[in-house]
Chains A and B, each alone.
Chain A
Amino acid sequence: MSVLIFIDHSEGQVKKASLEACSYGAALAGQLNVPAEGILLGTVTTDLSTLGKYGVKKIHQAAQEGLNHLDAQVYAKIIADSATATGATVIVFSNNLSGKAVAPRVAARLKAGLVSGAVALPDTTSGFVVKKNVFSGKAFAHVAINTPVKVITLNPNSYPVREGEGSVSAEVAPLSVTAGAPKVKVVSATQATGEVPLTEAELVVSGGRGLKGPENWGIIEDLAKALGAATACSRPVADAHWRPHHEHVGQTGIAIAPNLYIAIGISGAIQHLAGVNRSKVIVVVNKDPEAPFFKAADYGIVGDAFEVVPKMTEAVKKLKGIA
């Protein structure tokens, strides 16, 4: 009996979404009184033993270069086999792009009930009930998993990364696998290196049509830089190619749940809100007091972004002691 956590990596690093999954899996293991173990496929530069501080006791690593590209079919077989071999009763993934590719396959392979997009630890007082995001952030569902083996994917930014007391080292155990040749051939891969992925960003500054043109994005970037935030944009902005598509948040773009979302010159159409309504604090700057976004906001300024935003940047710099 154990909780098995899938540890995802990109650019040779274990990223925040996986650390959240580790913390969540470890807490769940504590709740069930079983050990938390991890599984990592491929090679990383991160020292895996340090993941012990998040409560993971043992990490099964298949350190093969050929596994560095995530192939859903190959990964699912290895993870399912490993879960069976280690007697895992719950398998935890991040509900990031990697988790979405692999977790459903693992669940189907093991005929294990799947809840994707969990936002809290399961209620295990009577059965096994997981709270998840539904209706694009407009509601939650409590979903019972009725199978002996369970698969959960955790929404990014829903559970904090928690370090335990002291420095506990995780045991890294080599996992020998004979992975079949992948049916999918990777021709090329591009990584936007150095940037925090939007889904992992804790602070996000986002601009809309109110900015009037791509040449005015400096005020957004300056505020983001002062805060240490990622930048995002609304759909019309991405459609007009003012900003790259990967910055587009909203229903057709990506859904995010940062601690702080600052929307500048965005009216707040329902499709946009569907992508950001799980943000913990929403700030809206808009010159139109009737902008629907104010109804979903925690703080707001009715005013001209070109005057307000540079002053916000100055205030942040002053607060942080940046000249």
Chain B
Amino acid sequence: MKILVCISKTPDTTAKISFTQNNTKFASDGVQWIINPYDEWYALVRAIELKEKDPSTVLHLLTVGLADTEPIIRKALAIGGDEAIRVNADSADPFYIATQIADIARQGGYDLIFTGKETIDYNGSSIGGMVSELLDWPYISLAVKFDLNGSVATVVREIEGGEETDEVSLPLVVSCQKGVAEQRIPNMKGIMSARTKPLKVVEPVAAEALTGIVSFELPPAKAGVRLVPADNPAELIRLLHEEAKVF
């Protein structure tokens, strides 16, 4: 069994979001970077659990990013995984990224690919689906539970208005969200061993970026809260009805 977990670097959840160069670049000065929470808490941890259950499992982590993503991939290795691959490229286009991941997956002979449900920066929710199409594999989106019995996966996924339980033979791509696993904090042993785990750097395959970010924009600032006295909730309801007209 060979599992590939896709890892993204994102600004910390609490990072201040602002832009430079005439609103065309994210202002990264002073920003703390983290592993995309969905990749870390759910995709990576579930893959580690599968390896704990079956120690013959080979678990590789993959990121598409420049050298500055290495601290993030080391941090992921401290939580678990045998080795990491970094594709030396940077792009905001999901097709470009997915093409790189699909190429690594083809060459590495993986059986199972995990992604987080989306990244908290571009909010695309599209890498898993694209990779599965490029590989012509089945895709389970937005999984909340994942179990493996031999080469057959049982997955519960969120669908419109409910949940669906699926059975599917590997190979398979799964995007993971809350429910699949619980966050783990790396321990000292993990941190130490991560330093010596292999981190392979490969150059990207030729691919086109099909989209490009032209500019960013911040939403207009809120005018500030309008407080209504606690002894007059009816006034709040009147404002919502007559002024905000929301019902």
Binding site for B on A (CB under 8 A): 8, 10-11, 15, 17, 69-73, 76, 95-98, 100-109, 111-117, 129, 131-136, 138-147, 182-193, 195, 197, 203, 227-228, 245, 248, 251-253, 259-260, 270-271, 274, 280-281, 283-284, 294-304, 307-309, 311-312, 314-316, 318-319
What is the minimal beta-carbon distance from A62 to any residue of chain B, in angstroms? Answer: 19
Q: In the complex, A72 Cα to B132 Cα: how many Å?
A: 10
Contact B133 A109 (CB under 8 A): yes
Find chain A residues with CB under 8 A from B131 CB.
Answer: 108
Contact A295 B240 (CB under 8 A): no
- B51 in the interface (beta carbon within 8 A): no
- B237 in the interface (beta carbon within 8 A): yes
Contact A76 B133 (CB under 8 A): yes
Q: How many A-B residue pairs have CB under 8 A?
A: 277
What is the minimal beta-carbon distance from A18 to any residue of chain B, in angstroms? Answer: 10
Contact A184 B138 (CB under 8 A): yes
Binding site for A on B (CB under 8 A): 11, 13-14, 17, 19, 37, 41, 93-95, 98, 120-134, 136-142, 154, 158-169, 177-179, 209-219, 222-223, 225-231, 233-234, 236-241, 244, 246-247
Contact of A259 among B98, B159, B234, B246 (CB under 8 A): B246
Contact A146 B211 (CB under 8 A): yes
Q: In the complex, A82 Cα to B230 Cα: how many Å?
A: 58
Contact A185 B168 (CB under 8 A): yes
Q: Mostly helix, strand, loop or mixed at chain B's interface?
A: mixed
Contact A133 B141 (CB under 8 A): no
Q: In the complex, A151 Cα to B94 Cα: how many Å?
A: 12
Contact A299 B210 (CB under 8 A): no
List the B residue with the shortest CB-CB distance to A138.
B17
Contact B247 A143 (CB under 8 A): no
Q: In the complex, A138 Cα to B241 Cα: how many Å?
A: 27
Find chain B residues with CB under 8 A from A228 CB.
Answer: 247
With known contacts A105-B130, A301-B236, A187–B215 Cβ distance under 8 A: no
Contact B122 A134 (CB under 8 A): yes
Q: Identify 27 residue pairs between A and B in the complex whose beta-carbon atoms are under 8 Å apart, listed by A's number.
A: A17-B160, A69-B164, A72-B129, A72-B132, A73-B138, A101-B141, A105-B129, A115-B211, A116-B124, A116-B125, A117-B125, A135-B123, A136-B123, A141-B213, A141-B214, A142-B215, A183-B138, A183-B169, A186-B165, A189-B165, A195-B161, A203-B246, A252-B37, A270-B13, A284-B225, A295-B222, A299-B228
Contact of B178 among A131, A253, A299, A301 (CB under 8 A): A253
What is the minimal beta-carbon distance from A183 to any residue of chain B, in angstroms? Answer: 4
Contact A134 B126 (CB under 8 A): no
Q: In the complex, A299 Cα to B242 Cα: how many Å?
A: 13
List the A residue with the shortest CB-CB distance to B158.
A97
Q: In the complex, A136 Cα to B120 Cα: how many Å?
A: 6
Q: In the complex, A140 Cα to B215 Cα: how many Å?
A: 9
Find chain A residues with CB under 8 A from B238 CB.
Answer: 315, 319
With known contacts A73-B138, A138-B17, A10–B159 Cβ distance under 8 A: yes
What is the minimal beta-carbon distance from A301 to any residue of chain B, in angstroms? Answer: 5
With known contacts A100-B142, A140-B217, A189-B164, A133–B244 Cβ distance under 8 A: no
Contact A187 B165 (CB under 8 A): yes
Contact of B236 among A117, A283, A304 (CB under 8 A): A283
Contact of B214 among A108, A144, A303, A309 (CB under 8 A): A144
Contact B240 A281 (CB under 8 A): yes
What is the minimal beta-carbon distance from A98 to any residue of chain B, in angstroms? Answer: 6
Contact B130 A104 (CB under 8 A): yes
Contact B168 A142 (CB under 8 A): no
Q: In the complex, A182 Cα to B164 Cα: how many Å?
A: 15
List the A residue with the shortest CB-CB distance to B244.
A281
List the B residue with the shortest CB-CB distance to A128.
B211
Find chain B residues with CB under 8 A from A131 CB.
Answer: 217
Most chain A CB inside 10 Å of its own CB: which residue of B17, B136, B217, B230: B230
What is the minimal beta-carbon distance from A95 to any residue of chain B, in angstroms? Answer: 8
Contact A251 B13 (CB under 8 A): yes
With known contacts A101-B141, A319-B237, A299–B216 Cβ distance under 8 A: no
What is the minimal beta-carbon distance from B228 to any residue of chain A, in angstroms? Answer: 5
Known contacts A97-B158, A98-B159, A100-B142; 20 additional CB pairs below 8 A are A15-B160, A97-B142, A97-B159, A103-B126, A105-B129, A129-B214, A134-B122, A135-B17, A138-B219, A141-B217, A142-B216, A147-B210, A187-B167, A189-B165, A245-B179, A252-B177, A259-B247, A284-B225, A299-B240, A316-B237
Find chain B residues with CB under 8 A from A307 CB.
Answer: 230
Find chain B residues with CB under 8 A from A251 CB.
Answer: 13, 37, 120
Q: In the complex, A95 Cα to B228 Cα: how many Å?
A: 36
Find chain A residues with CB under 8 A from B228 CB.
Answer: 299-301
Most chain A CB inside 10 Å of its own CB: which residue of B37, B179, B228: B228
What is the minimal beta-carbon distance from A146 to any residue of chain B, in angstroms? Answer: 6
Find chain A residues with CB under 8 A from B130 CB.
Answer: 104-105, 107-108, 114
Find chain A residues with CB under 8 A from B218 CB.
Answer: 138-140
What is the minimal beta-carbon distance from A70 to any residue of chain B, in angstroms? Answer: 7
Find chain A residues with CB under 8 A from B129 CB.
Answer: 72, 100-105, 108
Find chain B residues with CB under 8 A from A186 CB.
Answer: 164-166
